[in-house]
A and B are shown apart, each in its own frame.
Chain A
Amino acid sequence: MTMKFCLLTMVLVFAAIGDKDVAADEVDFNRDIRPIISDNCFACHGFDKDARKGDLRLDQRAAVTEDRGGYSVIVPGKPEESVLLERVSSSDPDLLMPPSDSHKKPLGQKSIETLTEWIRQGAPWGEHWSFVRPQRPTVPKDASHAIDHLVRQGLIEHRRDLASQAATHTLIRRLSFDLTGLPPDVELVVNFPQTPAEQDWDDLVTQLLASPHFGERMAMWWLDGARYSDTDGFQSDSTRTNWPWRDWVVDSFNANKPFDEFTIEQFAGDLLPDASPEQILATCFHRNHMNNGEGGRNPEESRVDYVLDRVNTTGTLFLGLTLGCTQCHDHKFDPISQRDYYSLTAYFNSIDETGAAGGRAKPYLKYKSSYAQRAVDQAAELVKQTESHLAAMQKQADKEFVPWLLKQVVRAKRGFRPWTVVIPERMATTEGYKLRLESNGIIASSPAAFPQDDFVITLAKPELDRISGLRLEVFPHSSHTDGKYSFSETGEFILTNVKLLLRKRGNSQIQEVALAFAVADVNGVGVDSSYKTVRETLDDDPRKGWTTRTKPSDVPHTAVFALEEPLVLSHDEELDIVLMQRSLAPRELMGQFRLSVTDQRGAAVRSLKPMPLELLAKLNDANLKSDAVESNIDGSLRKQLFSQFLEGHAAWKEAKRRNDLAKSQLNSAKKSAGDQSVMVLGDRKEPRNTYVLERGVWNKHGDEVSRGVLPAVLKRSAEDVATRLELGRWIVSKENPLTARVITNQVWQLFFGAGLVRTPADFGLQGESPTHPELLDWLAVEFMESGWDVKHLVRTIVTSQTYRQDSSVSAELLELDPMNRLLARGTRFRLPSWMIRDAALKASGLLNDAAGGSPVFPYQPPGVWQDQFMGRFVYRPSIGQAQYRRTLYAFWRRTSAPTFLFDSAMRRTCEVVPRRTNTPLHALTLLNDTTSLEAARTLSDAAIVASPKDLPKRFEFLMMRVLSRMPTADEAARVLLRQYAVAKDYYDEHPDEAEALTTVGQLASPNEEVVADVAATMLLANLLLNLDEGITHE
């Protein structure tokens, strides 16, 4: 039994704060006893009748003390006669409880002593604390603040008091992040009184609670719990348009809608008399679950999943109960039966839904959002801007066109060859067909028995500077079956895939060169009709491909393939052209074919028509006299040539790309401004029967059940709670012992990093007891009695001295209370990742703080969606101001959460436990994410404008923006100045590098004279944005 020192220390520390020293004290059943027997006994001797062993339950006093034929498990007041103690401390492994095959440890000495003492005191029983209605504890009239009074009560025995108040700027930041999710304006910090009075804090809180950002901040909490997402999840992961509900949540918090109304509308807004569209919209809450539209899926199975998800979400978010456990069996710990569970599902079982996904997930509400027009206006403005930029680029290109054209004329005069025949360096096959080169570059294969094969034609550097397209000609031949194209029974050929592989001498790796487009003179239909068009050769799917069957079979056929980007082959590179013929039709492989390449791009390789330069070459000499060349080329040919020219014009192409994006952004904004289909609740005419599902399996019907609420929580007759609406009212009934506590706890958790109950999702027997039971109850009662006033609750919490404490910690206090259960200090915890992004936007000045509307697309590294979906979804970051919206509005793909949110809730099921970890991936994200870098660049620009020459002033500017405080002399001199100087020296020497660094996001690099200064300041801003202080709730 060895355990090194540090661990031992830890355990003792927990003993100090986690439990009380019971020996001298009165034993409290809920606090001291229930955790021991729940943890160790209830799995086999608890509420679940099916799991119960030895016909013994230990979760009721009557059962524990009953006479079991000459003995009782517990004899109150007589530890020596209580069999319980005998069994838990037995040295006989056959008698010992819990038994070894339960994989539970034997009880520790301390637990046994506690049990003994409890029995000696008469084994008083108590109802589990959270199932008893909270009573407001008495707080002396002269107490300055109820919260502080109740927290101090817990500190007395440790002879401690609350910590001193945090520094003013720290407290302003804390309030600003907590109430709006954003750092404070610099002006606010600067103008705030040096020694603020109570009124100053009150005013600040009032101001922040009135900010429209308050609702956004609170919504982020609610969306995680509500598993809100913009897609279905699962196989097809279709997009849904439920975002008006998200805006409804924001509006509700901003309007301070009482929490009971907020709840009732989400449960049953549709059932309210004369329900408004917004009240129906609210019910989307219960439709935010994932939808599974997988091909082989039985929709009914999916529908049942959704119903269960609603109950589980209700359990976690409102009741703090792990109801999911009762899907398959009675709860092992809490007094909730499987039957109770399925009675709850009955309220959600008659929604007029089918279990379908995608666009067929009725019922829907057609809803027009009042927030959508702003996005349309902004997008229209952007289209204008990008259009005029594009026009300017076009004008510039126009000027450059004539000299280019003259060069082409010269080329055309020399004789233009549209296609250059490939003379292979090597030829190979995978399975064993033999290839030979004939005249004119024609390649012939010999008849063979292999049903399938790949032809690999290797090309060394051609005469061309670059390759932009590939042509394949397939020839009929008299030696082939029926004089057609192959030696197979049918004489047909099927080309399944075409691949280009680039290899470099001395490098063992090869690179695939992407093809963008394919076109053929004819497309036929195979015996297996999935073989058709030449476009089917571009993917990796051998089940599809190109055939000319059903088309004339005595003429050559041609296909042209366009490369995504022109390929420049260097002398030490080779290109493998792989022609895969892996169809189901045996031996349908080309007998004679020829490959050619071209350097022409654009329309030239997207059709089989003559290329523009070909046409140019055909003009007679007289028309090509250089001085009149332009006027001699007719309009349509000129247009073709010009568009080919533009294909190679980088600046024009970039302008075009942005303009295209702006236009598509405008289109989707317009679409979002019309009627949106929002998934909502609505009952079908014929209610469905509800059954207990055996082992939770969707079609294993057990007993039929009718609607009913959880008797252990708040008993009500079936008639009293007959509808979904009444269920909503039951949830927020003032007699419900759980809801107010559970919600208050979650709100507390937002501001303290951890709840008063450290298991926010479990207020049941296995959950932790509150660190401050009286405080939790006081808050819960206050919340209810204020009329479920959320802003009042928030104000109450953040005006306490408990909230205002300094978050620094002495080694001694850390030792005593590492998890801050005493609340003898402020808590320091990393801000949620979404807040870190928003803070960077705000600090830099990039933030577009518009409210509401359809989702936007913040920067994400390229390829994330493509990797995961093998190219089915492509992520296109928003351009213009839409890029800088708050994270709340970021598009949430359920199967691939935004990458910049490194440890967010997953939004698959209800989550109320904050995820907060500390990994190198966070570090990399904050160092290198485009948002982070663009914010650093923007900060740098602003700092230089604010202080072009005076460096110390510039550092002050940066620190105020990022940390809301001035640098210390040490920080400025020892770190900031040196950092700046080193970087500045480097970038003075390397202006190209400075240009590269400062070209980021949507920003072009600054001009040459200042670029080194901007780059060096930007790097400094990057450092500040990564400081622990900047990303931490202090």
Chain B
Amino acid sequence: MSNALERTNESSQDVTRRYLLGRGAGVGLGAMALSVLNGEACNGQVAATDKLVGTHFAPKAKRVIFLTQSGGPSQIELYDQKSGLARMAGKELPASVRNGQRLTAMTAGKKQLVMPAHSTFRRHGESGATVSDWLPHIGAIADELCFVKSMTTDQINHAPAMTRFLTGHHLPGRPSIGSWFSYGLGSSNRDLPEFLVLLSKMKRGSDQPLYDHYWGSGFLPSVYQGVKLRSAKDPVLYLRDPKGLPRHLRRKMLDGLGSLNQVRHEQTGDPEIETRIKQYEMAYRMQASVPELTDVSDEPESTFELYGPDSRRPGSYAANCILARRLAERGVRFTQLFHPDWDHHSRLRSWCTARCRDTDQASAALVLDLKQRGLLEDTLVIWGGEFGRGVAGQGKWNSPEGGRDHHPRCYTIWMAGGGVKSGTTYGATDDFSYNVAENPVHVRDLHATVMHLMGINHEQFSYRFQGLDFRLTGVEGARVVHDILA
């Protein structure tokens, strides 16, 4: 069997693919890197099947829902309980623990005084995982989750760290993880893009804008970039026909357009025209499929009860969680939610709890909902942000106004479904939740693991751009965390 992913070693693959697809392959969108090489493209049926093709080995997960918490949620308040901190409250962090860790310009030069968690914790379920009381719903499903408490990164500011977390490199310009999958695996839904992005609608101006390179395609063709689903009249930009143009006239117009384009194709022989005709048809289908997706009036009351009161408000994180489940049902490969404003430099108790209320019930509901629909086993859910927060108080350690600065050395994320071991906790930090004490998982390792779950060997999945072979996991080495695989 020729290895699907090795295809990327061919030079000028875009043109190649376009050429292939144009020549009676019949696959317009979701032009699949992998399937093409598996020869599937020849029968023209790939886009319509739900079969994962072209992976290196059988995948555990067919799709990903990435619940991105932007700003750096505090592992100390939310997941990584350290009861010993109370004794150290207000004392200076031992230099041996800090060990030269860089601080941001905000707290550099200030004394690092230990601030114990503002929250309380309890153990949940058979797994006995400790979760903050600020996240009661997530706590309640702890037995479904796999906590990784030893996440680590090497970037201390938001944009570089989030860029690292989502593209593998700290500077913009590389493809995002979703576009890698979109490129590698394609879609199993012919009416929707394979990579969709949903941003929570917030009233407050966020200090960490969500840059479009977080879901960009980098040097991959732009067809693989994430498509932003907006909570606006046009969920996808330019989706709606103008007022006064009924659907049947648009249909008629596209028929005319297709017919003239067909003539041009016969005259010029350019296969690109055939692709264009298909893309216009896909656009027409999306005009129906996207509103059908975002119109949740067919959801029963019980859905909204499960996801919480905020889920009734379009554009909220909770409402987006419902959409994420609908996307999973429709076979969309990669769905990424972004919830901003986890950057709690002050007033954790009011600020952090607000973000917990936004996300707790709906995140848990999504996992439960996927499970009850039989989708969890092949859907990987990831909850996490770009880094964690430090044990030292920022501002006054002993005041409710205290907050925490960024901390790249360790933080917690969780995953569920899609081939990860449920009811587990992997890795541990030291007594200060400052350094990883065992089983570090670098963001690169996370990428490698997610790819593994999706059936891809990260070392063999590369894209040649301007003479160099690029991988999501880069050149520094990454390992699949086998211990958390089911």
Report chain A residues within 8 Å CB of B401: 528, 584
Which of A53-61, A269-277, A599-607, A977-985 binds B? A977-985
CB pair A928 B466 closer than 8 Å: no
CB pair A583 B271 closer than 8 Å: no
The one of A299, A868, A920 that contacts B282, using a Cβ cutoff of 8 Å:
A920
Q: Which residue of A lies closest to B221 (CB)?
A: A917
Within 8 A of A (CB), among B321-353: 340-341, 346-347, 349-351, 353
Interface membership of B84, Cβ < 8 A: no
> Could you list 15 A-B pairs, sorted by A, with CB under 8 Å?
A7-B39, A295-B104, A296-B104, A543-B346, A768-B11, A818-B16, A868-B212, A870-B204, A870-B206, A870-B209, A899-B237, A920-B282, A923-B280, A975-B260, A1023-B256
Report chain B residues within 8 Å CB of A830: 272
Chain A interface, DSSP helix/strand/loop, else mixed: loop
Interface membership of A1022, Cβ < 8 A: yes
CB pair B400 A584 closer than 8 Å: yes
Interface membership of B114, Cβ < 8 A: no
Interface membership of B159, Cβ < 8 A: yes
CB pair A1027 B260 closer than 8 Å: yes
Within the complex, what minimum Cβ distance (angstroms) separates A555 from chain B?
A: 28
CB pair A909 B467 closer than 8 Å: no
The one of B15, B269, B297 that contacts A508, using a Cβ cutoff of 8 Å:
B297
Interface membership of B223, Cβ < 8 A: yes
CB pair A6 B41 closer than 8 Å: yes
Within 8 A of B (CB), among A9-49: 10, 14, 18
CB pair B349 A584 closer than 8 Å: yes
CB pair A975 B105 closer than 8 Å: no
Give 3 closest A-B pairs by Cβ, nearest first. Answer: A296-B104, A766-B467, A997-B244
Question: Residue-by-residue, is B381-415 near A (CB-CB < 8 Å gives 1, otherwise 0)?
Answer: 00000000000000000001100011000000000
A899 to B108, CA, bound (A): 39
CB pair B467 A764 closer than 8 Å: yes
CB pair B467 A919 closer than 8 Å: no
Q: Which residue of A lies closest to B241 (CB)?
A: A928
Report chain B residues within 8 Å CB of A918: 18, 223, 272, 275-276, 279
CB pair A903 B222 closer than 8 Å: yes
Question: Residue-by-residue, is A1005-1033 near B (CB-CB < 8 Å gives 1, otherwise 0)?
Answer: 00000000001000100110011110000
Within 8 A of A (CB), among B275-291: 275-276, 279-280, 282-283, 286-287
Interface membership of B261, Cβ < 8 A: yes
Interface membership of A922, Cβ < 8 A: yes
CB pair B172 A909 closer than 8 Å: yes
The one of A530, A768, A819, A895 that contacts B209, using a Cβ cutoff of 8 Å:
A895
Report chain A residues within 8 Å CB of B95: none
Interface membership of B292, Cβ < 8 A: no
Q: Which residue of B lies closest to A541 (CB)?
A: B204
CB pair B256 A295 closer than 8 Å: no
CB pair B238 A810 closer than 8 Å: no
CB pair B239 A235 closer than 8 Å: no
CB pair A235 B208 closer than 8 Å: yes
CB pair B283 A924 closer than 8 Å: yes
Known A582-B354, A906-B213, A979-B253; judge A540-B297 contact (CB<8 A): no
A974 to B228, CA, bound (A): 39
A793 to B331, CA, bound (A): 52
Within the complex, what minimum Cβ distance (angstroms) separates B353 from chain A?
A: 8
CB pair A296 B245 closer than 8 Å: no
CB pair B219 A924 closer than 8 Å: no
CB pair A917 B11 closer than 8 Å: no
Known A870-B205, A1034-B268; judge A923-B263 contact (CB<8 A): no
Within 8 A of A (CB), among B153-169: 156-159
Within the complex, what minimum Cβ distance (angstroms) separates A576 from chain B?
A: 10
Report chain B residues within 8 Å CB of A811: 269
Known A7-B39, A917-B223, A1000-B242; judge A808-B209 contact (CB<8 A): no
Report chain A residues within 8 Å CB of B304: 508
CB pair B242 A997 closer than 8 Å: yes
CB pair A296 B405 closer than 8 Å: yes
CB pair A924 B238 closer than 8 Å: yes
A769 to B299, CA, bound (A): 58
Known A761-B466, A1023-B256; judge A1-B2 contact (CB<8 A): yes
Question: Residue-by-residue, is B5-23 near A (CB-CB < 8 Å gives 1, otherwise 0)?
Answer: 0100111100110111001
Report chain B residues within 8 Å CB of A452: 350
Report chain A residues within 8 Å CB of B282: 920, 923
CB pair B467 A511 closer than 8 Å: no
CB pair B159 A997 closer than 8 Å: no
A976 to B260, CA, bound (A): 10
Interface membership of B370, Cβ < 8 A: no
The one of A2, A767, A871 that contacts B467, using a Cβ cutoff of 8 Å:
A767
Within the complex, what minimum Cβ distance (angstroms) separates A698 from chain B?
A: 11
A809 to B273, CA, bound (A): 13
Within the complex, what minimum Cβ distance (angstroms) separates B12 from chain A?
A: 6
Q: Which residue of A lies closest to B205 (CB)?
A: A872
Known A6-B23, A294-B157; judge A928-B467 contact (CB<8 A): no
Interface membership of B87, Cβ < 8 A: no
Which of B47-55, B140-148, B195-203 binds A? B195-203
Which of A251-259, A859-867, A941-949 binds B? A859-867
CB pair A861 B237 closer than 8 Å: yes
Question: Residue-by-residue, is B293-313 near A (CB-CB < 8 Å gives 1, otherwise 0)?
Answer: 000110101011000000011
CB pair B37 A294 closer than 8 Å: no
The one of B1, B159, B301, B347 that contacts A294, using a Cβ cutoff of 8 Å:
B159
| Interface residues in A, total, Cβ within 8 A | 132
Interface membership of B25, Cβ < 8 A: yes
Interface membership of B267, Cβ < 8 A: yes
Within the complex, what minimum Cβ distance (angstroms) separates A488 from chain B?
A: 14
Interface membership of A496, Cβ < 8 A: yes
Within 8 A of A (CB), among B162-218: 171-173, 193, 199, 201-213, 216
Within 8 A of A (CB), among B408-427: none
The one of B39, B172, B257 that contacts A3, using a Cβ cutoff of 8 Å:
B39
A984 to B253, CA, bound (A): 13
Q: Which residue of B lies closest to A827 (CB)?
A: B270
Interface membership of A689, Cβ < 8 A: no
Interface membership of A465, Cβ < 8 A: no
Q: Which residue of B lies closest to A937 (CB)?
A: B242
Interface membership of A304, Cβ < 8 A: no
Interface membership of A759, Cβ < 8 A: yes
CB pair B256 A906 closer than 8 Å: no
Known: A10-B20, A508-B301, A996-B243; 19 extra A-B contacts, CB below 8 A, are A509-B319, A510-B312, A542-B354, A583-B350, A814-B271, A830-B272, A862-B232, A913-B219, A921-B238, A924-B237, A924-B238, A925-B238, A927-B283, A928-B242, A979-B252, A986-B246, A1023-B256, A1023-B257, A1029-B261
Interface centre among B199, B211, B303 (most CB of A within 10 A): B211
Within the complex, what minimum Cβ distance (angstroms) separates A331 from chain B?
A: 10
Within the complex, what minimum Cβ distance (angstroms) separates A9 from chain B?
A: 9
Question: Residue-by-residue, is A900-938 near B (CB-CB < 8 Å gives 1, otherwise 0)?
Answer: 001100101100010101111111110111000100000
A5 to B43, CA, bound (A): 11
Within the complex, what minimum Cβ distance (angstroms) separates B369 from chain A?
A: 15
CB pair A584 B350 closer than 8 Å: yes
CB pair B213 A908 closer than 8 Å: yes
Interface membership of B230, Cβ < 8 A: yes
Interface membership of A217, Cβ < 8 A: no
CB pair A909 B173 closer than 8 Å: yes
Interface membership of A869, Cβ < 8 A: yes
Question: Residue-by-residue, is A505-520 near B (CB-CB < 8 Å gives 1, otherwise 0)?
Answer: 0011111100000000
Report chain A residues within 8 Å CB of B265: 1028
CB pair A919 B29 closer than 8 Å: yes
CB pair B173 A896 closer than 8 Å: no
Q: Which residue of A lies closest to B406 (CB)?
A: A296
Report chain A residues within 8 Å CB of B346: 543
A1027 to B268, CA, bound (A): 14
Within the complex, what minimum Cβ distance (angstroms) separates A975 from chain B?
A: 5
The one of B108, B171, B241, B313 that contacts A511, using a Cβ cutoff of 8 Å:
B313
Report chain B residues within 8 Å CB of A759: 466-467
Report chain B residues within 8 Å CB of A1027: 257, 260-261, 264
